[in-house]
Amino acid sequence: MNALHVYAGEDGATWRALFAAQAPEIECTAWPDTVEAAAVTSIACWNPPDGFFAGFPNLRSVFALGAGVDRLVERTDLAPHVALVRLVDAGMAAQMVEYAQLGVLLWQRRCLDYRTQQAQAAWRKLRPIARADTRVGVLGLGAMGGAIAAALDEAGYRVWGWSRRAHQIDGVRCLHEANGLSELLGETDVLVNTLPSTTATRGLLDRTRLAQLPTGALVVNAARGDQLDTSALLELLDSGHLGGALLDVFDPEPLPPDSPLWRHPRIVITPHVAATTLPGPAVAQIVDNLRRSRSGESMTGVVDRSVGY
């Protein structure tokens, strides 16, 4: 009883070895190992097939091998009494900070304008933009967005943030609720989206909200594709209202080869790599949580399934 089972596709053996190294006291198997399903009380996983959880009658907790749990929250095979736990930071916040910096520098150092000029072999110096004149708006101020806002503020950018709940970050103006969002969008040169995908945030960056951004603004989406209306984005880029986009996430993924996003000159695309799960820190966090739970303490990163993250 009390065994942990891992579903990580073809990487199962690697994860099993890491759990064994960090917590030899935990009995761990990994798909496709043969498993005594009734003994499994915890599962650590990423995108298990539909119906997977139904095979484990004594399941008590499911640990996501990632930060975003939108796919897991929707699962009908996950009984309501099972605790759903996500990774909190676990080495991903630092990667997200780098990705946000990439977007900010694309805008501040006018990389997309210079790319256009490069295509025309045009040697033309554009007006430089100072960090203090670069307004960055961060959506979501949790482990990821909070780290981004703090790092960019520290680097001298003008940062503000918006989130569902009120947050406090030194040097960063933190807004929340609907009015705050319009205010932020109206004065943001680089918009960085790190929000979890929930019923409240799906479709949030629609045509109306994107049009509230000032002329020339750049959109960074490092959260989930279903939050951004890419048709509206393309329209606003083509009309010259928006200046560019750095996109890591799409709906659906992989981004289909015939998507116009691939070939747009003012869009930079990465294949969902803004922050990848680091197995070492991820296993450490899950082991810590398993030990907490076994000694009756509360776990970190437990998802409130009613709000979706």
Binding site for ligand GLV (CB under 6 A): 66-68, 277
Please confirm, yes or no, whether 176 is among the known catalytic residues.
no
Q: Exposure string (b/e) for 262-288, b if CB count within 10 Å is 16 or more?
A: eebebbbeeebebbebebeebbbbbbe
5, 135, 164, 224: which one is catalytic? 224
Can you say whether the dihedral through the CA atoms of 256, 259, 265, 267 is positive or negative? Answer: negative
Q: In angstroms, what is the minimal distance from the CB of 90 to ligand GLV?
A: 9
Taking the least distance from each CB to ligand GLV, the nearer of 140 and 243 is 140
Taking the least distance from each CB to ligand GLV, the nearer of 40 and 148 is 148
Q: Is 86 left (phi over 0), alpha (psi -120 to 50) or beta?
A: beta
Taking the least distance from each CB to ligand GLV, the nearer of 71 and 173 is 71
Q: In angstroms, what is the minimal distance from the CB of 93 to ligand GLV?
A: 11
Q: In angstroms, what is the minimal distance from the CB of 68 to ligand GLV?
A: 3
Please confirm, yes or no, whether 224 is among the known catalytic residues.
yes
Spatial distance between the Cα atoms of 107 and 104, rounded to a whole number of angstroms: 5
Give me 111's structure tokens: 């990389």
Taking the least distance from each CB to ligand GLV, the nearer of 59 and 73 is 73
CA gyration radius, the chain:
21
Q: In angstroms, what is the minimal distance from the CB of 88 to ligand GLV?
A: 11
Spatial distance between the Cα atoms of 122 and 241, rounded to a whole number of angstroms: 23
115, 272, 291, 305: which one is catalytic? 272
Q: Which residues contact 240 (CB under 8 A, 6 or more apart)?
A: 215
Q: Catalytic amino acids?
A: 224, 272
